[in-house]
Structure 1
Amino acid sequence: MNTGSKLYTLLLLIISLNAFTQTIISGKVTYKNKPVKDISVTLKDTYDGATTDANGIYSFPSSETGDQILVFSGKNYDEVSMPVKIDGTNITINTTMKEQICEINAVVISAGSIEASDKKRATTLLTPIDIYTTAGANAQITSTLGFLPGVQKVGESEGLFVRGGTGAETKIFMDGNMVNNYFTNSVPGIAGRDRFNTSLFKGNIFSTGGYSALYGQALSSVLILESVDLPETTSFDFGVSPIFLSANYQKLNQEKTASWGFSGAYSNLGLMGKLFSFNTDFDKFPQGYGFDGNFRIKTKKGGFIKYYGSIDENKMRVNSESLDTEDAINQVDLTGRNMYHNLSYREKLGKYLINLGGSYTYNVNNLDIRTIIDNNEISKMPINTRSNYINAKAVAERKLNKRSIVRAGFELNNADENRQFGHFDRDYKNLNTAVFAETDLIFTNNLTAKLGARAEHSSFLERWNMAPRAALAYRISNGFTASFAYGIFYQNPESQYLYSKNFDFQRADHYVFQIQKNKNGRQLRFEAFYKNYDRLIKTKTLPGASASANNQYYQVADSNAGAGYAKGLELFWRDTRTIRSIDYWLTYSYLDTRRDFLNYPFSLTPNFASKHTLNAVMKKFVMDWKTGFNLSYTYSKGRPYYDIATANDGNFVRHEGKLRDYNALNFSVNYLPGIGKKDSKASTVFVLSVNNILGNKNIYGYNYSADGHLRSALVPPVNTFVFVGVFVSFGVDKTNDAINNNL
């Protein structure tokens, strides 16, 4: 036998001996008594292993011997390690996997909330592009929220009127800090606008009930806004329209770790007043200016320091026919000024995520109310309000067992107000102190809970409260979840009514149930709610005041004897997939509510509450035309109206009825000529929007004379409003936003 034959024989012998000593390791892998596919089964620190088949079966040979570790691993399952002794005998090992529980995979508690912040956890809109492309919203966050379920269509006053609550019962937060005077100053009957630019924010959470213990002083809802971290690059943009001029500059450093910027805007409705027939007799059309600045710093550990500050001033003067004096004109002259600062700091320190923040607001609202006959002033009542608000907040958060989260903190809100009207002069000072804690408990990926509590103290009321909150969510099937939320919520009575300390916190108890299915670009939400109101403020008319009890400036708190309820059903459907290149959503809200509060003589359906509200929004971008088309429609069942007067034995309803149903069809078009052009250094967007394109004559209510014999309709400033504008940006091509998945 030659050398080659000897080597060949030796190789065969080695192979046969190796095969002879191999051990077969096999078994079955299950989860809840069902086989699991694609589980990796390996001997630790070797190449020996296999993957389970559709029946959960695995099998593989191994030449290893002695004590070994068999490892089972797979996506969405905790890794399992089992000791095994290999002695040449075939081995069968079965195992049961455990679901991997983590924050990302866990079902989201969404009862009462509409979220668009963390993309991994977002339950639905609203992104900035949603807001800019919603016809009739005028690029305002709060106006866009009006096309969602739960929000009432109240055009005569600013604020979010949610589920039977007044506009004052919704609070707005920016980077965790309360924003006082979120809306511009205005006159009675004309709603103020959002004070902040939509592009300032990257996300929001709008909670219509049952919100987190981190937030308080809101009986109905909270809107939580989160500002952008850093801009994409250095940029400059400006806007031109018949209504306003604006410019904005943002500078990003080369390391992309810090930025600063500033912007300015001037607005004047005078030109539009000459082109369109306004319902409101503006002696001076609304006009104003504003400037803001910001800086953002990314820390070495990935945290952020953010600052935003703004100042603005606005003016207007409105004339209306006097209902109490023949041939007379009532004139309201407004001068409003506002300053706002917001500073926040977020950092991971050891095992804790720390959020610190504070805000400061200074607001001046001067109203001169005059009665004029033949250009002669026969009476004048100035109403001057100056307000200072300071907010400070600290929150510490820590994960527990890599699954659940606990957070706790405190908050301070200091208010210092002075109001002068007629011969009345009133100072209001209050420090609200709050402590809170809550935990997110992830029992399984299909079952999560949130438990929390908030305690508050008011220095003005000299009282404490304790408010527990709880929420639960269960994933019924893939993309199909159910949530329930409960909470007690407190709010100080509105300061404008308080002239003594003999009052308590107003209270509302929330019960919210939701079923939601979100899959393949389609979202369906059904929500039912019940709210019970207690300790609502009842008011009376100041001695020697105007004969009409409708004058809110002469109403003062009388007791905490008010109460009420609100219950309803809401439906939301959004679809971005069924019809090609079309994004649309439909909402329906049913509201049954009654209140005995303020100057109401008994329990009534509030004059801001409509029983049925329907919204439809549709958006389509035509790439060949480089144009986006947007439609929206709102229908709201006629709200009640009341003329409440004062007699010796108290208040009574002198006149009442139902307004005509509200209808508005809105249209907007955006033309983006730069789309598709490479190496473009600037992007341009042309915008045309028409609100209430059919010119429906909507009515918001009625004003009555002191004796109740005469009345005038409260209507929008203009029935149909047209806006045309051009927006140019250098540095960041924002036109790409128009063809992203949101359109």
Structure 2
Amino acid sequence: MKSILKIISILTFLISGVFFAQIKISGKISYKNKGVANISITLKDTYDGATSDAEGNYTFETCEKGNKILVFTNTKFENVERPIIISTENITQDVELKEQLNEIDAVVISAGSIEASDKKRATALLTPIDIYTTAGADGQITAALNYLPGVQKVGETEGIFVRGGTGAETKIFMDGSLINNYFSNSVPGIAGRDQFNTSLFKGNIFSSGGYSALYGQALSGVLILESVDLPEQTSFDIGVSPIFLNGSYQKLNTAKTASYGASLGYLNITLVDKLLKYNTDFDKVPQNISADANFRIKTKGGGFLKYYTKFDTNKLAVLSESLEPDSDKNKVALKGNNIFQNLSFKQKFGRYLLNVGSSYTYNKSDVDFTTLLNNVPQNTINSKTTGNYINAKAVLERKFNKISAVRGGFEFNNANEDSRYGIFQKNYSDLLSAGFVETDLGFSNNFSAKIGARAENSSYLNHWNFAPRVAVAYRIAKDFTTSLAYGKFFQNPESKYLNSNVPLTFQKADHYIFQIQRNTEGRNLRLEAFYKKYDQLIKTNGNQNFSTAINNQGNGFAKGLELFWRDKKSIKDIDYWVTYSYLDSKRDFQNYPISLAPGFAAKHTLSAVAKKFVTKWKTGFNMSYTYSSGRPYYDIVDNNGQNIIRNEGKLKDYSGLNFSLNYLPNLGKKDSKAFTVLVLSVSNILGQKNIYGYNYSNNGLRRSPVTPTVNTFVFIGAFISFGQDKTNDAINNNL
């Protein structure tokens, strides 16, 4: 019996030696021929494994036998699985890794653009809360853009003036569709205001150059606005101030899949006109009535159908001292009406994303220019324009991996205008047809490119254009990226200049942009250099109220450097940003007799914004400052068919310090059913007497300055929301 037990023990020892011998598995892990540390190596379905060292080497032992799978994992690289057979010999397994393409980690192409969107990972810049709390912006998106690099402060007319371009060279889109007449109708010397409520939009992309091939007809830049999807809950909002009264209602269904809403507003500055010392003599103070309505439906597949419509009517009349001997007063009276509608739909179909949209605009501007002597009308010239505009666009996109995609589509923009100036009448009609294609190429998390092209045809010009565009971005260090962008951009001549039958073609601009950016938590630094070359610009003759295009022989350039620094981290509870822009630009266009620095372009522009919310006081403090060096001005007249400069000079430097307070009386009251914000805002608090330019008499011997309507503007208002507590959003965003 003892002999049998000894034999069993010996056999057991021999068998365990065979089946439980420790086999060593080792190797080296590399990426682009360099060792990679911290790669997790495991034998699938076991607890055996190791982690690679600084040189990429790893080793571990196992008692497992047979067919197994060796797994290599790390969040920055694609997982690798290698089958192995474990028997009695040690195993060496080397692996070459591939980078894991990740939308969060991938470098973003940002040359020329600043983005604020709830679905992007870029530092949020100018969200709706940012806009509302920027002192001096008066809650207007386009006014807040004046505090970003590349945008010129031009107060005498509406528009976004970007890098030496006119206000008409920047176009604005809502959910992909063009917004014609984004600004209210205006008269010379008084800029129109934004007609759209900032709260309508959840995000925006502002491009000061090199923008996507999905958009066109803008020589300088685009502002792309994305409307909100659904409200968080049903709410009723009212706003009250000495100059306006408005209210809105938004209803969210129980399933939170659909909503509808409407708003109504009225503006009248009679009271403020009497309290403040206005530079402008209003014969009829500005009055405005606006209304809008919307519905939004979330589809089963996660898509959205959105509809928005609005109506605006505005009136005003301005008196000014006449510069001519046969009259003592000039009067300009305006009646304007505007209707806008926008319908958009987006939906995923398998691997494809479809975006379609359409917008319609009706705009009527009726202006009377009257001379008066002893308050008796002497002569009146009427200028009236009625326009109908339809825009339609469809975009189909497919992603190939997490950071690569291709998209393409088509766009139609139809414009029809009937206009009259005095006895001159015309009808302008144009169908602009466009096709485009664009691809995002993610070569790695550190290198990406965007390549696209756009082709357009104008029925009025009877010409085609072709616009290639390319941009690349490369991460040079952990927090540093560089971007390069190039593109051709075309734009129709403005319809107000098309008063004769001379043959014309598209105006053209080439953009070259280089950017370096450092983006860390709470801080963003951007340095950008650009060069724009203009060709085929419109040359005109005539006066400022009625000019006619005569050829496409204009040209010009704009070059410069820009700095943007935003910091939410260095100073406790203070969010601030600083921008500086240097611009060197010259143009031979419109009625310029030679190449000149444009009258709307300042060489140096500096802006600073700071915000702080003090919870104990329930108050947000906001300040902003803008400085720009003096712009040039010209008095150009037609002398026997030849444009000559009769007077010229440089304006004094522009500066303005603005301040606002936002008080939340309901802060800390958990049972409060209303969210209230009380606002006090003072623009140009130091009363700086800024000048935008000069008007000249017919003989050029007399002139009068073009100034802001008021030097210092004071606003007091209350905004109340019933049913939706926005306190946390307000505090988190420094309201």
Q: TM-score scaled by structure 2?
A: 0.97
Q: What is the alpha-carbon distance in structure 2 between the residues aligned to residue 420 and residue 11 of structure 1?
A: 111
Alpha-carbon distance between aligned partners in 2 of 1:64 and 1:250, rounded to the nearest angstrom = 64
Which residue does 1:244 correspond to in 2?
244
Shift in alpha-carbon separation, 1:646–1:455, aligned structure 2, 3 A? same
In 1, Cα distance between equivalents of 2:477 and 2:118 = 22
The 8 Å contact of residues 25 and 91 in structure 2, kept in 1 or not, is answered as yes
SS for the counterpart of 1:138 is coil
Structure 2 SS opposite 1:21: coil
**C-alpha distance in 1 between matches for 2:402 and 2:578:** 39
- Quote the residue 1:268 is aligned against: 268
In structure 2, the partner of 1:552 is 545
User: Deviations for 1:188-222, whole angstroms, at most 9, x for unmatched residues?
Assistant: 10001100000000000000001000000000000
Structure 2 CA distance for aligned equivalents of residues 565 and 656 of structure 1: 21
The 5-angstrom pairing of residues 415-564 of structure 1 reads: 415-498=415-498, 499-500=500-501, 502-541=503-542, 549=543, 551-553=544-546, 555-564=547-556
State how far apart, in whole Å, the 2-side matches of 1:270 and 1:36 are: 71
2:608 to 612, 616, 622: 616
Q: How far did 1:732 drift?
A: 1.3
Question: Following TM superposition, by how much is the alpha carbon of 1:90 offset from its aligned partner in structure 2, in angstroms?
Answer: 2.1
Does the CA-based 8 Å contact 1:621-1:738 persist in structure 2?
no
CA change 1:525–1:402 in 2 (3 A) is: closer
Determine whether 1:99 maps to 2:99.
yes
Say yes or no: does 1:686 pair with 2:678. yes
Is residue 39 of structure 1 aligned with residue 16 of structure 2? no
* Separation of aligned partners in 1, 2:244 and 2:15: 86
| Aligned partners of 1:628 and 1:738 also within 8 Å | no
Does the Cα contact within 8 Å between 1:110 and 1:123 map onto a contact in 2? no
* Letter of the 1:659 counterpart: L
- Partners of 1:123 and 1:180 in 2: CA distance: 29
Please give the per-residue CA displacement for 1:115-160, whole angstroms capped at 9, x wherever unaligned.
1114433254010111011000001000000011101110000000
SS at match of 1:216: coil
* CA distance in structure 1 between the aligned counterparts of 2:556 and 2:617, rounded to whole angstroms: 53
CA distance in 1, matches of 2:502, 2:59: 78
Q: Are 2:674 and 2:720, in contact at CA under 8 Å, matched by a contact in 1?
A: yes
Kept in 2, the 8 Å contact 1:572–1:586? The answer is: yes
2 CA distance for matches of 1:597 and 1:510? 18
Secondary structure at the aligned position of 2:393 is classed as strand
SS at match of 1:129: helix
Amino acid of the residue matched to residue 435 of structure 1? G
The residue matched to 2:147 in structure 1 has which SS?
coil
Q: Specify the alignment match of 1:150 in structure 2.
A: 150
TM superposition shift of 1:85: 1.5
Report the 3-state secondary structure (helix = DSSP H, G, I; strand = E; otherwise coil) of the residue aligned with 1:708: coil
Q: Secondary structure of 2:476's partner?
A: strand
**TM-aligned CA distance change 1:501 to 1:361, over 3 Å:** farther
| Mean Cα deviation higher: 395-404 or 459-468 | 395-404
Q: In structure 2, how many angstroms separate the alpha carbons of the residues matched to 1:520 and 1:401? A: 27
The residue number in structure 1 matching 2:166 is 166
After TM superposition, the structure 1 = structure 2 runs for residues 657-668 of structure 1, keeping only pairs within 5 Å, are 657-668=649-660
Matched to 1:26, the amino acid is S
Q: What is the CA-CA distance between 1:739 and the residue it aligns to? A: 1.7
Match of 1:323, as an amino acid?
L
Q: Is the 8 A contact 1:488 1:507 kept in 2?
A: yes
Give the match for residue 646 of structure 1: 638
Pairwise CA RMSD? 2.0
* Shift in CA distance, 139/15, structure 1 to aligned 2, threshold 3 Å: farther
Question: What is the deviation of 1:720?
Answer: 0.1
d(CA) in 1 for partners of 2:206 and 2:481?
A: 19
Quote the Cα distance in structure 2 between the aligned partners of 1:578 and 1:340.
44
Amino acid across the alignment from 1:307: Y
Give the whole-Å Cα distance in 1 for the aligned partners of 2:11 and 2:702. Answer: 113
Per-residue CA deviations over 1:469-494 (Å, capped at 9, x if unaligned) read 00011100111000010000000000
Indicate the SS of the match to 1:588. strand
Comparing 402-411 and 560-569, the one that deviates more: 402-411
2:566 aligns with one of 567, 574, 579: 574
Secondary structure of 1:621's aligned partner: strand
What amino acid is aligned across from residue 127 of structure 1 in structure 2?
Answer: T
Aligned partner (choices 696, 704, 713) of residue 696 of structure 2: 704
Kept in 1: contact 2:234–2:250 (CA 8 A): yes
Contact 1:24/1:90, CA 8 A, preserved across alignment: yes
Deviation at 1:22, TM superposition (A): 3.6
Q: Cα–Cα, structure 1 residues 294 and 649, in superposed 2: closer, same or farther, change >3 Å?
A: closer
Question: Would you say the 8 A contact 1:617–1:632 is kept in 2?
Answer: yes
Provide the C-alpha distance between the structure 1 equivalents of 2:627 and 2:694, rounded to a whole number of angstroms. Answer: 20
Shift of 1:324: 1.5
TM-score relative to the length of structure 1: 0.96
SS at match of 1:130: helix
Unmatched segments (≥5 aa) in structure 2: none
CA distance in 2, matches of 1:133, 1:404: 37
- CA shift, 1:613, in A, is 0.5
How far apart are 1:508 and its partner, in Å? 0.3
Shift in Å, 1:71: 1.4
Deviations for 1:302-322, whole angstroms, at most 9, x for unmatched residues? Answer: 011011100010110100111
Q: Which residue of 1 aligns with 2:597?
A: 605
- Read off the aligned partner of 1:480 and give its amino acid letter: F
* Cα distance change of structure 1 residues 467 and 62 upon mapping to structure 2, 3 Å threshold: same
Quick one: structure 1 residues 12 and 333, their matched pair in 2 at CA, closer, same or farther if it must change by over 3 Å? farther
Partner Cα distance (1:12, 1:190) in 2: 100
2:112 equivalent in structure 1: 112
Inter-partner Cα distance in structure 2 for 1:736 and 1:101: 35
1:501 Cα deviation from its structure 2 partner: 5.6
Matched to 1:677, the amino acid is K
Partner amino acid, structure 2, of 1:631: M
Alpha-carbon offset, residue 327 of structure 1: 4.6
Amino acid at match of 1:688: L
- What fraction of aligned residue pairs are identical, expressed as a percent? 64
Work out the CA distance in 2 between the residues paired with 1:236 and 1:141.
23
Question: Alignment partner of 2:727: what SS?
Answer: helix
The alpha-carbon deviation at position 33 of structure 1 amounts to 4.3
> What is the rounded CA distance, in whole Å, between the counterparts of 1:739 and 1:50 in structure 2?
47
- Return the letter of the residue paired with 2:672: S
Shift of 1:82: 1.6
User: In structure 2, what is the equivalent of residue 669 of structure 1?
Assistant: 661
User: In the alignment, what sits opposite 1:730?
Assistant: 722
Q: Provide the C-alpha distance between the structure 1 equivalents of 2:374 and 2:567, rounded to a whole number of angstroms.
A: 59
Query: In the aligned structure 2, how far is the partner of 1:671 from the partner of 1:403?
Result: 43
Post-superposition offset of 1:14: 11
Partner of 2:63: 63
Cα drift, residue 19 of structure 1: 7.1
**Cα deviation digits, residues 411-460 of structure 1 (max 9, x gap):** 00000001111000010000000000010111111111110000000000
Per-residue deviation, 1:266: 0.5
Distance (Å, rounded) in 1 between the aligned partners of 2:120 and 2:383: 49
AA in 2 matched with 1:515: I
The CA distance in 2 between the partners of 1:214 and 1:327, in whole Å, is: 52
Partners of 1:600 and 1:120 in 2: how far apart?
Answer: 43
Contact 2:244 2:268 in 1 (8 A): yes
Structure 1 unaligned regions, length at least 5 = 542-548
Distance 1:118 1:406, change over 3 A: farther
Q: Which whole-Å CA distance do the structure 1 matches of 2:99 and 2:390 have between them? A: 47
Question: How many residues matched?
Answer: 731
Q: Secondary structure at the match of 2:58?
A: strand
Q: Which moved more, 1:36-45 or 1:167-176?
A: 36-45
Q: Higher mean Cα deviation, 123-132 or 343-352? A: 123-132
Contact 1:461 1:501 in 2 (8 A): no
Matches within 5 A, 1:134-213: 134-213=134-213
Q: Give the Cα–Cα distance (whole angstroms) in 2 for the partners of residues 19 and 326 of structure 1.
A: 115
Partner residue in 1 for 2:579: 587
1:546 is aligned to none
